[in-house]
Amino acid sequence: MSVALVTGAAGGLGAAIAARLAEEHAVLLTDVDARRLKEVASKLAADGARVAHTTCDVSERASVQAAFTAAEEQLGEVTALANVAGVGMFVPFTELTEQQWDHTFAVNTRGTFLACQELLRRRDGRPGAIVNIASIGARLGMEVLADYGPSKAAVIELTHVVSRVGAPTGLRANAVMPGLIWTDMWQKTSEWLLANDPAHAGSSADKIFAGFVESMVPMRRPQTPEDIGEMVAFLLSDRAANVTGQTIAVDGGVVLT
């Protein structure tokens, strides 16, 4: 059985991606949030999946290397990688601090780079597959995402580079741009808007999210973690054997790629 490593696997999207991948692979789940990670992994194991878990901070090279080693020891050599770990928070452009900028890039961009590089080093000229989770925020020029958007745009160009490096030896790399999905990330964002943006006074977090869906998504529906899991599973499988260097939006039509 092939082995997939998922970062950010304790989060809303990461847990769904890990669950979908567990239908086709043994899966190592990793995240910085040890408590939620254990809960997600225990549930998958109880459902009969071949999974293991280890904490991993993707912004630290030693932590990423340790996660790959843990996967090898507990499940076997990693051939598929889903980079899902990420952070994002609305902030007005003139209030964005260099600390938030650096942290966002450390997790979203450096973390994705470190895990991609580790997989390529360990595959050492053999086939493999990577999916990097970007975001529609990479393409929208949103004022409140001045750190997040560029950090995800960099993930897309990094994916191009990795696809070129890996192509001659059959190692593929693609990016997925999720649209609007109700996870902790959107819940915290909506709660922040409720507390800080007078335009949303008296509303509720749910209604704020629904308003973004209504105004942004041509198909007028939010996306689901399962929508993203399905696309990641496809891109990491041999069914996508001739697909590399692509960025696929799963967003109900927000971004035209």
Ligand X SMILES: NC(=O)c1ccc[n+]([C@@H]2O[C@H](COP(=O)([O-])OP(=O)(O)OC[C@H]3O[C@@H](n4cnc5c(N)ncnc54)[C@H](O)[C@@H]3O)[C@@H](O)[C@H]2O)c1
The catalytic site residues sit at 148
Q: Which residues contact 176 (CB under 8 A, 6 or more apart)?
A: 131, 132, 133, 134, 228, 231, 232, 235, 247, 248, 249, 250
- Counting contacts by CB under 6 A, is residue 147 touching ligand X? no
Of the candidates 115, 33, 111, the residue with the CA atom closest to the CA atom of residue 80: 115
Q: Restricting to residues 112-141, which ones interact with ligand X according to CB under 6 A?
A: 133, 135
Distance set, CA 91 to CA 34, 137, 153, 178, 229 (Å): 27, 13, 18, 20, 28
Mask of contacts with ligand X, 191-210, x by CB under 6 A? --------------------
Single out the residue of 57, 118, 147, 227 in contact with ligand X (rule: CB under 6 A): 57
Single out the residue of 107, 115, 116, 145 in contact with ligand X (rule: CB under 6 A): 107
Of the candidates 22, 130, 120, 28, the residue with the CA atom closest to the CA atom of residue 71: 28
Strands across the sheet containing 171-178: 51-55, 26-31, 3-7, 78-83, 128-133, 171-178, 247-250
- Counting contacts by CB under 6 A, is residue 229 touching ligand X? no
Q: Restricting to residues 65-94, which ones interact with ligand X according to CB under 6 A?
A: 84-88
Size of the site for ligand X (CB under 6 A): 30
Q: Which is nearer to ligand X, 142 or 170 (CB)?
A: 142
Query: Of the listed pieces 65-73, 89-97, 121-129, 179-187, which binds ligand X according to CB under 6 A?
Result: 179-187
Strand-pair partners of 133: 176
CA distance linking residue 95 with residue 233, whole number of Å: 38
Q: How far is the CB of 197 from ligand X (least distance, A)?
A: 18
Q: Restricting to residues 10-29, which ones interact with ligand X according to CB under 6 A?
A: 10-14
Residues that bind ligand X (CB under 6 A): 7-8, 10-14, 31-33, 56-59, 84-88, 107, 111, 133, 135, 178, 180-181, 183-186
